[in-house]
Amino acid sequence: MNDAPREDAPTPTRCTRCGRTFGCGARMDACWCQQLPPLDPARFVGDAGCYCPDCLALLVAGQHTVR
């Protein structure tokens, strides 16, 4: 269970893959990324970080490899 305090607005975050700034809602009650299927953790080495909506959608679709 995550006991981190909840926030009311997305946190400005930089995409691990493309560098674009986007709003991460991981500390909110619901995040946009929860609308997508989860990524296979076997595709990652270490802490992959967060991905913007466009990059996460491409990764979920399997069109690009994780860097």
Rounded Cα distance between 5 and 61, Å, is 32
pLDDT for 64: 53
The candidate with the shortest Cα–Cα distance to 5, out of 24, 21, 26, 22, is: 26
Q: What is the mean pLDDT of residues 16-23?
A: 92
Beta-bridged to residue 12, according to DSSP, are 23
Confidence (pTM):
0.69
Site of tokens 């946009």: 32
**Average pLDDT across the chain, whole number:** 79
SS3 category, 24: strand
Rounded Cα distance between 25 and 28, Å, is 5
